[in-house]
Amino acid sequence: MKNTVGVRESGPVGAPAIWEISFEDVKSSLAAGWDDFRAHPGLGLFFGGIYMLGGLLILGFLTSIGSPWMIIPLAIGFPLLGPFVAVGLYEVSRRRQAGEPVTRQGVLAEVFYQRERQLGWMAFVVMFIFWVWIYQVRLLLALFLGFKSFSSWDAFVQVVLSTPEGWGFLGVGTVVGAFLATVLFSTSVIALPMLAEREVDFITAMITSVSTVVKNPAPMLGFGFIVGLFTLLALVPVFAGLLVALPVLGHATWHLYRRATMAA
């Protein structure tokens, strides 16, 4: 493993040093993520399948209560939960990188073990921001579209794309959503794999994550854009693309974490 820049910066007590990285590190991390998936596709498809199933259950629930149009804002916000679901994938990548055997029992045992560690607190942070996103969507709907009830997805899309009120809702919602996604990405992209590997508190992990993004804004936010784009594209075929997109991106996140926080 080699950092292309190699300048380090100290972080909070107990946290790893932060290194400068480049877009080459992002490219190499994505390639390593693909290699991890190809090496253990069964585990990747298992974790990706859990994520896909969650999306299908949400779609089924919204359809049953007559609000299928809500799948659009939920689908946009759904990727916010991706990093937390990928904890098992971090363990696969960690074991491969350390030369340890990768077994289903060992990986799942580590996932369940995380319930006793600080990673559980990050779940509250992730879920909180996700619910803020959902509530702000409801607020923007009330402000721009009133309390209209849309009987179908097509009706909702038609109003949003063909009326000034819909354009306002779409524009403001996009800005707010991008802000929330950036906040969550910055606080979690390094924190989650760091907590999965190290015995540190979640506040230290979040500070380290934000510091890494601040130190490397272009490559880190570029990686965040790639994660968001690939995940949204994977949602199009009824969430089926998540079977591959989520594991590859999860593995890649681990490798980027290592490049950003470990000496060459």
Between the alpha carbon of residue 79 and those of residues 31, 37, 132, 139, 179, the distances in Å are 21, 19, 14, 21, 14
- Contact partners, residue 23, CB within 8 Å, separation at least 6: 218, 219, 222
Write out pLDDT tens, residues 76-95: 555 555 556 678 899 999 99
pLDDT at 152 over 90: no
pLDDT at 157 over 90: no
pLDDT at 252 over 90: yes
pLDDT at 8 over 60: no
* Number of neighbouring beta carbons within 10 Å of residue 125: 18
Q: Residues 94-108: what's their mean pLDDT? A: 91
pLDDT at 29 over 70: yes
Task: Give the Cα-Cα-Cα angle 252, 253, 256 (nearest 5 degrees).
Answer: 85
**Angstrom distance (rounded) from CA 192 to CA 69:** 31
Q: Could you tell me what percent of the chain has a pLDDT over 70?
A: 83
Among the listed ranges 75-79, 93-97, 113-117, which one has the minimum average pLDDT value?
A: 75-79
- pLDDT (0 to 100) of residue 247: 92
Query: CB pairs under 8 A, 24+ apart, for 93-101?
Result: 93/32, 93/33, 93/36, 93/250, 93/251, 93/254, 93/255, 94/196, 94/197, 94/254, 96/36, 96/39, 96/40, 97/255, 97/258
pLDDT averaged over every residue in the chain:
82
pLDDT band at 132 (very low <50, low <70, confident <90, very high): confident
pLDDT at 2 over 90: no
pLDDT band at 136 (very low <50, low <70, confident <90, very high): confident
- pLDDT (0 to 100) of residue 264: 37
In this structure, what are the phi and psi dihedrals at residue 19, rounded to the nearest 5 degrees?
A: -110, 150
Answer for the pair 214, 229: CB distance below 8 angstroms, yes or no. Answer: no
Q: Residues 102-126: what's their mean pLDDT? A: 80
Q: Among 74, 94, 29, which residue's Cα sits nearest to residue 232?
A: 74
- pLDDT (0 to 100) of residue 198: 85
Q: Among 108, 122, 98, which residue's Cα sits nearest to residue 47?
A: 108
Between the alpha carbon of residue 33 and those of residues 23, 206, 251, the distances in Å are 15, 23, 4
Between the alpha carbon of residue 109 and those of residues 91, 104, 113, 229, the distances in Å are 10, 8, 6, 31
pLDDT at 192 over 80: yes
Burial 147-179 (b: 16+ CB within 10 A, else e): eeebeebeebeebbeeeeebeebeeebeebbee
Q: Residues 233-241: what's their mean pLDDT? A: 80
pLDDT at 219 over 80: yes
pLDDT at 119 over 90: no
User: Which carries the bigger pLDDT value, residue 141 or residue 45?
Assistant: 45
